[in-house]
Structure 1
Amino acid sequence: MNRLQSCACIAAMFLLGACASTTPSSGSRMFSQPRSSDHRGQDDLLTAGLGLAGLRAMMPPAFADAAHPTAQELRRRALWANWRGIADLAPGGGYGELYGSVASVPGREFSAFATLPGAKQPHRVLLQLPDDFDTAKRCVVVAASSGSRGIYGAIAVAGAWGLPRGCAVVYTDKGAGTDYFDIDTGQGIDAAGQVAGADVALAFRPTTSGTGIAYKHAHSQDNPEADWGRHVKQAAEFALATLNAQLPQQPNFSFANTRVIAVGISNGGGAVLRAAELEGEWLDAVVAGEPNVLVEGHGARSLYDYTTEAALLMPCALPALGVPAVPGADARCAALAAQGVLSGSDLKAQQQDALAKLHATGWTDAALRAGSISVGFDLWRAIGVAYASAYGRYAADAHPCGYRYSALGADLSPRASTDAERAAWWADASGIPPGAGVGIVDPNPLADAGLTGLQCLRALSTGDSADARRVRTGIAETRAGLPRAGLPVIVLHGTDDGLVPQAFSSAPYVAMAQAAGRDVRYWQVRNAQHFDAFLGFPQYGAVYLPLLPYVYEALDRVDAHLDGKGALPVDAVIATVPRAGKPLAAENLAIPR
């Protein structure tokens, strides 16, 4: 079937609604802007022909015309960026040798915009259908992007496991992604990832005025996190509908006769756990790595709560653990002491008090040490700024603490984005600025090192203003419920996670689920933190180990269990052995057998 015929077939399917869904859309058009493409030879599904060597390259694949890249160039670069943002691909790290796969997998891709009832903005869905799709096994892996990444944000998690095994893999950006919008020029991102104007269907079109840049996770005004589970299910529905359209000679694909395994890490892990609670036996198993998930009780804390706390206190606390201070940390301690936030007559006492306050709210020393990299990258502030907008459903020009986003000049003043910067957003961005030519504009004077803004963000979690109540209402909408009874769920988490500490997220979720008799298994991995990709830094690789091998092993276990050939893993605290600068070996991982 050529591309034109394929698109026509999919378009007809979309106009009819998701025919494979167990809950039809009542005539509404759930999917739009269908696209399909072939990926064979030097442009495969898994790495766009880059292979391990190409993914390891320090520079991204180039655009022939920097201001007008083709859809194929954007796809290759997006795959490069998302692989490198998730997996440890460094020599000696073991990827593609000890674990994982970058095999060349030929096949086709099918994508669309998907819209939930009541949502203002769509989310992207994309199905990868390998040429050797196993029609006897009929396996679909559904994955949600980690963080706020774009549609390829789970390629190293789900694609690397499912595609070489003959499974179809379907992805959702879960209402986030890299579909930025330039408010000044009225330009956004179309279905192909290319910059387009208002006369074209865009993946995100904000209702806002002013200047600067808007993006979907923060500014959709949908609070997408509240619907992450439904995003995952809609992606699975898209997969079945597409399989029926593309394989009409096969018996109809439905949830009753097709194996559906959901997998994700970080925010993607939270999304598949939210999907696990939805009604109906449409899911066969769930694997959630280092999930950002919020439950009631059991010591759980919301991401926004502990992120804004870390942004305010962690720079001052880290030296008390022997971690070198970041620039400006000493001044931060003094300013917080002057305001009565910290006690202590000298710097050392103030640092000790900041550490004691973090300990009192549940932070471990291991999480704090690993969290230091988020201090260095200004990630705590970036999350706080973005999620305040998302949870409160604020428009891009209405942030409760006055922040906005823009391209920045050398003096950090806002400026217009260039054509080349806009053209690369979809491929290069991680979904939350700063990065890819987009920065955070702090409305407060630089003299206080951003402290005023951080205190405003923190007050949205702890205060009682109208804005604080609005943000906390949005957070409450994201709280997870119990997984469906009888559904196998495996949760994995690094004990040293410093971005999404297990004490605030997975541990409370597992405690809640197991207390209710749900079939949830829990692997706690020693010496694993949140970012496998950071293990390429020698100082990190010497101390920490990757989590992805355990995600792949968990997928192997549930797949074998569903085949009737193996048992699900039992709860375990896995005592790993850091590689201390040597190449990764199986004994370092100590995966239970």
Structure 2
Amino acid sequence: MQGIDFVQGEVRITTHREHDDLLSAGLGLDGLKGALAPFVNPAHPAAQELRRRAIQTSWKGIADLGPLGGYGTVYGAVPPVPGREYQAFAKLAGAQQPHRVLVQVPDGFDHAHRCLVVTASSGSRGIYGAIALAGAWGLPRGCAVAYTDKGAGTGYFDYADDSGVALSGERAKRGTAMLEFEPAANGEGIAFKHAHSGDHPEADWGRHVLQAAQFGLAMLDRAFPEQAPFTPQNTKIIATGLSNGGGAVLQAAGLDEQHMLAGVVALEPNVHVAQHGRALYDYATEAALWLPCALTDARFAAAPFARDANGAPHAAWAARCASLHAQGLLKATELEHQAIEAYEHLHGSGWTDQALATAASSTILDVWRVIAVAYGSAYLRRDANAMPCGYRYTTQVNGKPGVVDDATRAKWWTDGSGIPPDIGIGLLGGTDDSADPQLPGISGLRKLWTAEDADARVLQASVHALAASLPRKELPLWVLHGADDGLLPTAFTSEPYIAWLRAEGRRPLYWKLPHAQHFDAFLALPGFGDQHLPLLPYAYVALDRLWAHVFQAQPWPEELPTPVGTARGAGALQASMLGM
């Protein structure tokens, strides 16, 4: 069997058959859509219960499973897929903290078309964070699927009881088991791997993906020893991911010196190219500061979440306009004209009207500030008690700081997003008692990008290290991105990346899809889905096309016309709306 010296401790092998399969943990599509799977003992759930709920929340966080969304009827399916899972903690060379790798091997593995799909979690999600993309497409086809949490995940460490998350997903005290994340001994509040590991996981996303592919091949050796060895020469490795996972597979494509990857399909990637586009930290901090004011402009009155229940601009957003004026960043004295100035500022820095309108959802949910805090701490390599701008994470009971119970802690690994606030965890600090209380912290986060002091130089150097490298010329590569993406706008991410590839003699496929945005899961929200289309059906089609090229020698096209769909409207999604 191939060497896996990067594995830390045991490889945990579990079987999942009959009423507990690989793709839905036995829930099926109806179960995935339903209420969250309960725990028999909420304070100490069993590992199997934790796995089931983690898979369910990962599906709900990525796919539109709502009654109008069309999943399972117009596109996609969740058939039972029995098989085995191989899970371990692994380390990259030089890293301080481990990360999770997981391989799902279906009993129906297609030995005639030896296929391994490798993927990375979206956002900072846990290990199952790409199951609705990579698992849903690969497992029913007979592919094994290798996952990595790419140095993030939901293994929150609680200093109050000195506990973290063991390999099984169960809570464990420091010193009693190997933990997903174990910070320094002294501290307060909550620490988590993405923000506080002391590593720079985002700069290593590509290495995480390639390591997961290595782990996948080694676990196929274990699963089918009579057919070993499994290698990139006799087993086709297809990389796919969305959002941060999409950025991770593109990073991997640029580092793939051993030619492990047979092809790449990336959705809405968080990808950064040196000297091109804009880095996430740059436009996220800009958005946190300026978007609340700009979205009070009348042109966004019909955008979902851009107005309060009475149809008026949100009071907090109007207060931001006043703050920007007080800082001398806006000249106008009336809200109407301040909003226009803020809009023009953002428009001048590359934001499109489509991205701004959709970004109202991320703004009302405080996503920009939450991202900037966690990523800023990661870039500065700060621990939980030395975060920038006075921020900190703490446990909360009834909205106030307090010690949470075991039942709350148990849900972190299954229900968490990987970046708090989360159930029982709050983000504190960076505020004052003004009408715009979040302004001090947000301004401080923005200055880490615009200033030239020591901290700013460290952060900027960390962002510089994120730049993707050039993939090999013959690698089939396809990027799909929603034209209405308001979180990772195409103008800052996919478009400069694709332009760079083409200027360097590469021939990537690129679909900028009308009416699609960033969060398929948001399409179930009232008033939101009727303006948009899901991305996942296009991804499944792209993966089908890559499969045909890899296994059936169908020519890889130099370009393909982008499907032009129509917004869903108030009714249910129809296949004709996708324009394919």
Q: Which band: TM-score by shorter chain?
A: over 0.9
- The structural deviation recorded for 1:208 is 5.9
Give the aligned partner of residue 3 of structure 2: 17
- The structural deviation recorded for 1:106 is 0.6
**1: distance between equivalents of 2:341 and 2:108?**
59
Give the aligned partner of residue 419 of structure 1: 406
**1: distance between equivalents of 2:523 and 2:452?**
41
**1: distance between equivalents of 2:391 and 2:521?**
29
SS in 2 for 1:473: helix
**1: distance between equivalents of 2:404 and 2:185?**
18
Give the aligned partner of residue 505 of structure 1: 493
- Correspondence 1:551 to 2:534: no
**1: distance between equivalents of 2:185 and 2:294?**
39
Give the aligned partner of residue 440 of structure 2: 452
- The structural deviation recorded for 1:564 is 3.3
Aligned CA distance change for structure 1 residues 182 and 573 (closer, same or farther; 3 Å): same
SS in 2 for 1:572: coil
SS in 1 for 2:527: helix
Residue of structure 2 aligned with 1:306, choices 267, 270, 283:
283
1:66-77 equivalences under 5 Å are 66-77=42-53
For 2:574, the aligned partner's letter is A
Residue of structure 2 aligned with 1:485, choices 462, 473, 481:
473
Residue of structure 1 aligned with 2:262, choices 284, 287, 290:
284
**2: distance between equivalents of 1:134 and 1:367?**
42
1:58-73 equivalences under 5 Å are 59-73=35-49
**2: distance between equivalents of 1:207 and 1:500?**
33
**1: distance between equivalents of 2:207 and 2:402?**
38
Residue of structure 2 aligned with 1:585, choices 562, 570, 574:
574
Residue of structure 2 aligned with 1:560, choices 499, 523, 548:
548
Moved more, 443-452 or 423-432: 443-452
**2: distance between equivalents of 1:326 and 1:484?**
49
Give the aligned partner of residue 296 of structure 1: 274
Residue of structure 2 aligned with 1:103, choices 64, 79, 85:
79
SS in 1 for 2:117: strand
**1: distance between equivalents of 2:359 and 2:467?**
24
Does the 8 A contact of 2:68 with 2:524 survive in 1? no
For 1:437, the aligned partner's letter is G
Residue of structure 1 aligned with 2:353, choices 365, 368, 391:
365
- The structural deviation recorded for 1:30 is 3.4
- The structural deviation recorded for 1:17 is 3.1
Does the 8 A contact of 1:149 with 1:178 survive in 2? yes
- The structural deviation recorded for 1:435 is 1.5
Residue of structure 2 aligned with 1:440, choices 399, 415, 427:
427
Moved more, 308-317 or 242-251: 242-251
Give the aligned partner of residue 24 of structure 1: none
- The structural deviation recorded for 1:416 is 1.7
Any idea what the Cα deviations from partners look like across 1:487-511, whole Å, max 9, x if unmatched? 0000000010000001000001101
Residue of structure 2 aligned with 1:429, choices 416, 425, 433:
416
Residue of structure 2 aligned with 1:163, choices 136, 139, 149:
139
Any idea what the Cα deviations from partners look like across 1:557-586, whole Å, max 9, x if unmatched? 011011235333524343211121122112
SS in 2 for 1:127: strand
Give the aligned partner of residue 118 of structure 1: 94
- The structural deviation recorded for 1:226 is 0.3
**2: distance between equivalents of 1:208 and 1:223?**
20
Report the aligned-residue RMSD: 1.3
Aligned length: 565
Any idea what the Cα deviations from partners look like across 1:297-352, whole Å, max 9, x if unmatched? 34x10000000110111011012133323341111111110111222011111111
Give the aligned partner of residue 356 of structure 1: 344
TM-score scaled by structure 1? 0.93
- Correspondence 1:203 to 2:180: yes
SS in 1 for 2:169: coil
- The structural deviation recorded for 1:122 is 1.0
Give the aligned partner of residue 33 of structure 1: 10
SS in 1 for 2:314: coil
Any idea what the Cα deviations from partners look like across 1:225-273, whole Å, max 9, x if unmatched? 0000000010000011111122111141111111000000000000000
SS in 2 for 1:491: strand
**1: distance between equivalents of 2:279 and 2:493?**
8
**2: distance between equivalents of 1:355 and 1:233?**
41
- Correspondence 1:53 to 2:30: yes
Give the aligned partner of residue 128 of structure 1: 104
- The structural deviation recorded for 1:443 is 4.2
Residue of structure 2 aligned with 1:326, choices 314, 326, 340:
314
- The structural deviation recorded for 1:31 is 4.2
- Correspondence 1:146 to 2:146: no
Give the aligned partner of residue 8 of structure 1: none
- Correspondence 1:219 to 2:207: no
1:232-251 equivalences under 5 Å are 232-251=209-228
Does the 8 A contact of 2:397 with 2:403 survive in 1? no
Residue of structure 2 aligned with 1:178, choices 124, 149, 154:
154
**1: distance between equivalents of 2:476 and 2:459?**
33
- The structural deviation recorded for 1:277 is 0.8
**2: distance between equivalents of 1:229 and 1:211?**
32
**2: distance between equivalents of 1:138 and 1:535?**
35
**2: distance between equivalents of 1:84 and 1:565?**
35
- The structural deviation recorded for 1:445 is 2.3
For 1:400, the aligned partner's letter is P
Residue of structure 1 aligned with 2:64, choices 67, 76, 88:
88
Give the aligned partner of residue 375 of structure 1: 363
- The structural deviation recorded for 1:417 is 2.4
- The structural deviation recorded for 1:186 is 1.1
- Correspondence 1:463 to 2:440: no
SS in 1 for 2:128: coil
In structure 2, runs of 5+ residues without a counterpart are 302-306, 308-312
Does the 8 A contact of 1:46 with 1:105 survive in 2? yes
Moved more, 287-296 or 412-421: 412-421
- Identity in percent: 53
Does the 8 A contact of 1:180 with 1:215 survive in 2? yes
Moved more, 479-488 or 172-181: 479-488
- Correspondence 1:533 to 2:509: no
Give the aligned partner of residue 394 of structure 1: 382
- The structural deviation recorded for 1:196 is 0.3
SS in 2 for 1:545: coil
